[in-house]
Amino acid sequence: MAEPICAYCGGKATTKDHVVPRGLYPLSKAGSRVQRITVPACSRCNSGWADDEPHFRTVLLLAGEANPIVRELWEGKTRRSFLQPDGGRRRRHVAQLLIPVELPEGERYKIYPADDHRFMRILRKVIRGLCHHHGLLPVVSDDQVWADVQRYPIPSELFDEMAKAHAMPDIIEYRYNHVQADDIHSTWHLRFFERTPFYAIVFDTAQAREVALTSANLGAS
Ligand SMILES: [Zn+2]
């Protein structure tokens, strides 16, 4: 049998990585199938997400109206992560991301996930792992993926073309379209906690992504 290769870097895989961070699932959803999606990963890639995954969750929790799952996570796992020895550092990093905005009801703080490189790195990781999980590509490097907050409505015919891959809408819902045209491998739409939608493109190569970034003037990250 061939040795398993890391879905993220192509190196020798000695571990399994949970594609969707398990921290997004509160106790009440412990039986969910999706949190058990794993892909082969080398220990370097796998351990490389450890610090950014709790941060990813915190940003998602703060990025919009809370549904019951968000409240359960906030009271449970997130509070516990803030109480850990390095919780002060975690809290400070999140506080730096909160931007004051003037609203009719007064000053509020907003968080902009797309501006946070640690957040976006985990988002791209989830898409890379899902590519492998669905048998689309064995290895996807970080620089093949462009992702952003979904800033404009997606035309419904494009949206309908995307296969609905999974729906547990109160935690994560995602779709993808295996495009295979114009250097684009696949397009992705992900939504967490019934809000905060993201759009992503996986390119055939890192160079194709670079060309698209400079010519189409896609936003950063
Ligand atoms: Zn690796």
Contact criterion met (CB below 8 Å) for 7 and 40: yes
Question: Which chain residues have CB less than 5 Å from ligand 1, an ion?
Answer: 6, 8-9, 11, 42, 45
Q: What is the pLDDT of residue 145?
A: 97
Q: For residue 52, how far is its CA from the centre of ligand 1 (angstroms)?
A: 16
Mean pLDDT throughout 175-191?
90
Q: For residue 9, how far is its CA from the centre of ligand 1 (angstroms)?
A: 4
Closest Cα partner for 56 from 140, 114, 129? 114
Q: What is the pLDDT of residue 35?
A: 67
Residue 220 pLDDT > 60, yes or no? Answer: no
Q: For residue 1, how far is its CA from the centre of ligand 1 (angstroms)?
A: 20
E strands, 139-205, are: 145-149, 163-168, 172-177, 184-192, 195-203
Q: What is the pLDDT of residue 203?
A: 95
Residue 219 pLDDT > 60, yes or no? Answer: no
Mean pLDDT of the chain: 85
Residue 100 pLDDT > 80, yes or no? Answer: no
Q: For residue 47, how far is its CA from the centre of ligand 1 (angstroms)?
A: 10
Question: Helices marked H in the chain — which ranges?
Answer: 43-48, 52-62, 68-73, 79-83, 87-97, 117-133, 156-161, 206-216
Q: For residue 141, how far is its CA from the centre of ligand 1 (angstroms)?
A: 9
Q: What is the pLDDT of residue 157?
A: 76
Q: For residue 157, how far is its CA from the centre of ligand 1 (angstroms)?
A: 36
Q: What is the pLDDT of residue 221?
A: 47
Q: For residue 158, how far is its CA from the centre of ligand 1 (angstroms)?
A: 33
Place of tokens 């907050």: 149
136's tokens: 């689309």
pLDDT class of 217 with cuts at 50, 70, 90: low
* Cα distance between residue 129 and residue 135, in whole Å: 10
Query: Which residue type does 109 have?
Result: Y
Residue 181 pLDDT > 80, yes or no? Answer: yes
Question: For the segment 141-159, what is each residue's pLDDT rounded down to a tens digit?
Answer: 999 999 998 887 777 777 7
Question: For the segment 49-77, what is each residue's pLDDT rounded down to a tens digit?
Answer: 988 998 999 898 888 777 888 888 888 87
Mean pLDDT throughout 176-203?
90
* Cα distance between residue 177 and residue 161, in whole Å: 7
Q: What is the pLDDT of residue 1?
A: 63
Residue percentage of the chain with pLDDT more than 90:
41
Q: For residue 123, how far is its CA from the centre of ligand 1 (angstroms)?
A: 16
Contact criterion met (CB below 8 Å) for 81 and 101: no
Least confident of 53-57, 78-82, 173-177, 193-197: 78-82
Q: For residue 91, how far is its CA from the centre of ligand 1 (angstroms)?
A: 29
pLDDT class of 127 with cuts at 50, 70, 90: very high
More confident residue, 158 or 113: 113
Q: What is the pLDDT of residue 23?
A: 87
Q: What is the pLDDT of residue 135?
A: 92
